[in-house]
Structure 1
């Protein structure tokens, strides 16, 4: 680890010294090294710091914590990139208020890959989870890195979709990289570290306090070419990320939902305000003008299930079902078939991957089926 890294970490770990003040000091003194080499008189003369902060810049406690962070990064195979490091992501450096330091667990090289952020509600519907996962799987299958925040709901579904395609995914955390949050995503944390990257601007030991997540969102949008919103309430934090994306000059995409669903109200509002409506991954790829690469054997394309010749009853059931779950009573009323026949046909459709059963005797259509030509 270089002395330059030590200087950057010393600054961000100094109590009472925030990122905005560090930037002003850099403008005044020129570099982290020159800030730390400045005398107390010089630091007082710039009129940016209190006496207590100046003392903290050079005390042994800050120096010891800086070294502890560097040592922990080495033990946990974490790369620390500073704002002036050539390996610091180009897109992120261009945003307003980029993080001065980022901690990266996984492959730092994928940060420069073209990426799309897929974000949305934590308490997502089955529809939202399915769309987030399938869109991410298709986009990752075309070589795009999927970026999200590893929260429950849409974020987790997006990461899993990318992993299902043997693609790359990046999770931006609102805490230190030594903390798994939420705890339910411990397994996902390990998968992302192995097949992508986990990124945080926060030092080891930083807890997942609520106020850190809005700041984290600027990194999600900052690393991406565009942001896809899958389910968001009208006043959700997801819309903050969408606004940040617009401020950063990124494309914003909205997935439509039911007009009576509060979970889709934010997406519909974005569409009214000019966001691009998304019906498929191709809509996103076309908009950002990326050429679709030739499909690699290591990244299989996403395919709809191929169904054998369907019975009249099975086709009627499939025509009635859509991506919103239906309970068994609704299916009986809509088709007029007896319960035993419907259960039989649903079982066969489920075995062919066209339908999934959900709690409460509900069923959902998974994808647009393709009839077999055999």
Structure 2
């Protein structure tokens, strides 16, 4: 694309107060960004409210530091901007009533042309949820599916980690400009994705993490994906909004069931009641998608060795240690080996703490040497 054309697209996409739907209406009316920017006030009034006409005209005429900053950013490695008029614009986004007119990319842009699965869930995920998200995502990535998520803490981060473990890779759709990382705790992960996967945003450079950005991000996850897997979600979670958007777009929705005692399982159980596919293994997802690639037997299991989960330093108070063990236990049954890895405590320490928790009715012992949290 010629630089003059790109400048027109950048100016067009960053006029304040003009969202994707109005941008699309202007493109339909004028054919291309340059003509829309040059349109008369009379012509603009047919497509914009009076309150926005003067803002549009002022933005079209004024110098744009935003455009200059973007052109400079595009001189850095592995960066790109693709527009609605580009041949390589992701076709699946056109299923949206409001596809973004412009996407900012950092990383391997070719990943946008692959077959993708969205993996979403709770920011405050349980240790078992994080382990499931990474194991499922790794297995599906090994089978060749790209893993799409939103770079949030919890399930999203684990999904990206799993995607990076396989050949399918991972795409992070973010709710800020690509010169920012949110949350800051995922900065190292974002750098890894930029090197081995792809970061995508519809927001211009410098855009902060506003609350209204994240539902817009979620609709892109749903649209890009051939299906969406919800690992853990509380009722009212943004992940359920992503699942609903996926259904509206004709995508498959999958959900992993969990403990009836866990608030983080209730959203998945609601989805299953409403018709989402209950999945217990990565092959369940592949079979439903009729994915030709099949996992090798040793890759089908999601019962891989438990991952070490970052927990606060072990407190010295008895109550604090109890909380560490309960957090490590989550709401799904777990054995001592898993708890050792998750908590960093010794077997002897765990046995003493678990006995105390059992005597106070907060933990139950199950057959097979497993433990279940009760409160």
After TM superposition, the score normalised by the length of structure 2 is 0.79
Tell me the equivalent position of 1:61: 63
3-state SS, counterpart of residue 253 of structure 1: strand
Instruction: Indicate conservation of the 8 Å contact 1:17/1:53, yes or no.
Output: no
Shift of 1:40: 3.4
Deviation at 1:61, TM superposition (A): 2.9
Shift of 1:70: 2.1
User: Do the aligned partners of 2:257 and 2:269 also contact (CA within 8 Å) in 1?
Assistant: yes
Deviation sequence 1:255-307 (CA, Å, 0-9, x none): 00001111100000000000000100000000011101587xxxx9466669x
Counterparts of 2:33 and 2:341, CA distance in 1? 57
Matches within 5 A, 1:311-350: 325=329
Kindly indicate whether the alpha-carbon contact (under 8 Å) linking 1:82 and 1:100 is maintained by their aligned counterparts in 2.
yes
Q: Which residue of 2 aligns with 1:270?
A: 271
Shift of the alpha carbon at 1:166? Answer: 5.0
Is 1:5 the counterpart of 2:3? The answer is: no
Out of 10-19 and 38-47, give the one that drifted further. 38-47
1:124-151 Cα distance to aligned partner (Å, 9 max, x none) = 0011001101000100010110000110
Residue 52 in structure 1 maps to residue 50 in structure 2: no
Q: Quick check: 2:169–2:197 contact (8 Å CA) kept in 1?
A: yes
Partner of 1:338: none
Q: Judge conservation of contact 1:143–1:293 (CA < 8 Å) in 2.
A: no
* Aligned 1:218-297 pairs, distance under 5 A: 218-292=219-293
Give 1:51 deviation, angstroms: 4.2
- Structure 1 counterpart SS, 2:147: strand
Question: Structure 2 stretches of 5 or more lacking a match?
Answer: 306-327, 352-375
Tell me the equivalent position of 1:114: 115
Matched, 1:100 2:85: no
1:358 aligns with 343
Paired position in structure 2 for 1:334: none
Number of the residue aligned with 1:208: 209
**Residues of 2 paired with 1:44 and 1:203: CA distance?**
26
1:84 match: 85
Superposition RMSD in Å? 2.9
- Checking the alignment, whether the CA contact within 8 Å between 1:148 and 1:172 is kept in structure 2 is yes
Instruction: Figure out how many residues of one structure are paired with residues of the other and give that number.
Output: 323
**Inter-partner Cα distance in structure 2 for 1:85 and 1:305:** 42
SS at structure 1 position matched to 2:198: strand
CA distance in 2 between counterparts of 1:271 and 1:90 reads 29
**What CA distance in whole angstroms lies between the structure 1 residues aligned with 2:142 and 2:28?**
43
For the Cα contact (< 8 Å) 2:66–2:205, is it kept in 1? no
